[in-house]
Structure 1
Amino acid sequence: MRFLSFISRWFNALPIVIQAAWWMSVSAFAYAASIGIAHHLTARLPVFEVALGRNVFALVFMLPWLMRVGLNAMRTSHIGMHAIRGLCSAANVWFLFGALAVAPVADVSAITFLMPIIASVLAVMFFREKTSPVQWLATVTGFCGALIVIRPGMEAFNPGLLLALASVIAGSVVAMLIKGLLKYDSSDTVAAWLFVSHTVLGLIPAIIVWVNPTWQEVLWMVALGYLGTVIQRAFNRSMALADATVVLPFNFTRLIWAALFGFLFFSEVPDIWTWVGGTVIFLASVWLTRISTARRKPPG
């Protein structure tokens, strides 16, 4: 205990930027590990079953929090909007796991960097946020990076990457819905409805295609659920400590981890175009974030 206390004091004494970078790196590692586990599980188990296992165990790890906030966290007058958000969020996971069942881990990870780019387009469409030619240039650059990774019409084309793209689109819609919901409900309410809707929506599809998992696969699902909570908590903590433009570059390490896990555990060697396309997408995302942050800052 003394050692842990010493580590805690030492870490808290570090500059805020270093703490933020650490938490973003932890989130990136956990994300890469989670898609690696999903890649392993979906080789034998149906996508819906793996997604349900992840959601159920994530809910278990969040039970202490749910018990603390109580049923008040579920009160809302916008159940329909929560239901749509839950469906889109479930689709985000289903598409992602479907992509991981047939496509290399590193390629899928590279495509997920499109999230802030697609979210910015949706923000213009749904919230009429003002944009500039430079922002559109960053957006187009990001999509060019996606084309480099996916390479439609070429021999190396993997249709599974279209599922990854669908996952990113669904995730971007979720981000927009959350932005709208937070105008009416607390973050606790939004989070509580997410866990419940994920489990309810995924239950029937999972039962229909159910394959009895081994004990080892159940343990992997437990790890998947735990990593899901780590990803969110570490990411949120990082963003709370420093500006997005400072910490987002460390999120790129998830592509490095994903490539390493793919190589070590699945003998997958990402080609040069995965690295080139992933880098283009990531740099475009950081560029777009910097522009958006600069526009929000008051002059002077």
Structure 2
Amino acid sequence: MPSDLTIEQVSARRRLTVAALFMTGAASLVAATTLMAKVLGQDLLGPPLPGFMVSAGRFLFAWMALVPVILVMRPGFQGTRWRLHAARSVAGWATVTCIFTAAALMPLGDATAISFLNPLIAMVLAIPLLGERVGPWRWGAAGMAVLGALVLIRPGMAAFQPAALIALGAALFGAFEVIFIKMLTGKAEGGGEPAIRILFVNNTIGATVALCVALSVWQWPTPQQWLLLVAIGLVMVTAQSLFIQAMKRADASYVIPFFYAALVFAALYDAAVFGVIPVPLSIAGAALIVTGAIVLVWRERVNRVAES
């Protein structure tokens, strides 16, 4: 331990390191779920499963994994804002369904990058919904990310990816989910709710909605597909837990940029399993989106410091 550092400073550094590792781990697992969704959406283990069925597996088996935790922790549900939870859960289900569907139809890196537009869209939505003010830095970050999305989608060009519009839908629904999460965890209007309650209620409502919709396109999965559906649920709830632990240990402005490693993991997984190598335009578009998102996170930190 360096002599010029106090015990408190060393402890703080370790906490930040652990937070970064947790968030990077969450990113790798989220990317892994999109890879599994891509496998299920193709004819590798049997007839391709519709995105509705894949998202149903994600929510159902995540919920089943959380039930024992809830039975042990026994969190109270008094004061739960069910309407807000319902809105967040439906938005989350739509986000997952869109990204899983897009993952089966286009390169994972491109689909993941486009879905990363959600914090920028949430910034715009926060103006009318949360009364937040947006300055030139944030608008500049949003413009940069939109330019990156246009590079990835390439409208009007021969390389136009129709599936990218589905990934764009994931970003839009994800932005609404971000807004609802802010309302659930904020201090206004009844105060923030416990993280474990938010996680359990989200997966309960999400599983209910996802299963009801999946019945309309139901086809019996093969044994290998069942195993992968279970894996998606377990991996996703693990990713959510790591995400929460990272957020507990450090400010969002510090740990959120580590989550964008999901883009790198998605590209690596796609290359290893499907042999898909990102083209230069895809790399450039993804870089613009991630840079815009990081600028947004940095600016929020600057504003928070200025207000304190």
Task: Tell me whether the two structures share a fold, i.e. TM-score over 0.5.
Answer: yes
Q: One-letter code of the match for 1:186?
A: E
Q: Which residue of 2 aligns with 1:193?
A: 201
Runs of 5+ consecutive residues of structure 1 not aligned to the other structure: 1-11
Q: Which residue of 2 aligns with 1:211?
A: 219
- Following superposition of structure 1 onto structure 2, how do residues 1-300 of structure 1 map, counting pairs within 5 Å? 15-43=14-42, 44-70=48-74, 72-73=76-77, 75-76=78-79, 78-182=81-185, 183-184=189-190, 186-187=193-194, 188-298=196-306
Runs of 5+ consecutive residues of structure 2 not aligned to the other structure: 1-10, 43-47
Between the two proteins, the alignment pairs up a number of residues equal to 288
Shift of 1:220: 0.9
- Residues in 2 aligned to 1:20 and 1:222: alpha-carbon distance in whole angstroms: 27
Q: One-letter code of the match for 1:42?
A: G
Deviations 1:65-117 (CA, angstroms, capped at 9, x unpaired) = 221344733x4464333322222121111111121121111111111221211
Please tell me whether the aligned partners of residues 253 and 300 of structure 2 are also in contact (alpha carbons under 8 angstroms).
no
Please tell me whether the aligned partners of residues 38 and 103 of structure 2 are also in contact (alpha carbons under 8 angstroms).
yes
Percent identity over the alignment is: 31
- Residues in 1 aligned to 2:199 and 2:79: alpha-carbon distance in whole angstroms: 12
Match of 1:15, SS? helix
- Residues in 1 aligned to 2:224 and 2:38: alpha-carbon distance in whole angstroms: 15
Q: One-letter code of the match for 2:248?
A: A
Relative to structure 1, is the Cα distance of residues 63 and 155 closer, same or farther in structure 2, using a 3 angstrom cutoff? same
Deviations 1:121-162 (CA, angstroms, capped at 9, x unpaired) = 111121111221121111111111111111111111111111
Please, what is the CA RMSD of the aligned residues?
2.0
Match of 2:213, SS? helix
Relative to structure 1, is the Cα distance of residues 149 and 118 closer, same or farther in structure 2, using a 3 angstrom cutoff? same
Shift of 1:277: 0.8
TM-score with structure 2 setting the length: 0.87
Please tell me whether the aligned partners of residues 76 and 189 of structure 1 are also in contact (alpha carbons under 8 angstroms).
no
Q: One-letter code of the match for 2:63?
A: L
Please tell me whether the aligned partners of residues 119 and 178 of structure 2 are also in contact (alpha carbons under 8 angstroms).
no
Match of 1:72, SS? coil
Please tell me whether the aligned partners of residues 238 and 247 of structure 1 are also in contact (alpha carbons under 8 angstroms).
yes
TM-score with structure 1 setting the length: 0.89
- Residues in 2 aligned to 1:287 and 1:281: alpha-carbon distance in whole angstroms: 10
Q: One-letter code of the match for 2:296?
A: L
Please tell me whether the aligned partners of residues 26 and 239 of structure 2 are also in contact (alpha carbons under 8 angstroms).
yes
Please tell me whether the aligned partners of residues 143 and 281 of structure 1 are also in contact (alpha carbons under 8 angstroms).
yes
Deviations 1:11-36 (CA, angstroms, capped at 9, x unpaired) = x9972222122112101111111100
Q: Which residue of 1 aligns with 2:4?
A: none
Deviations 1:212-267 (CA, angstroms, capped at 9, x unpaired) = 11111111111111111122111222222223333333323222211111111112
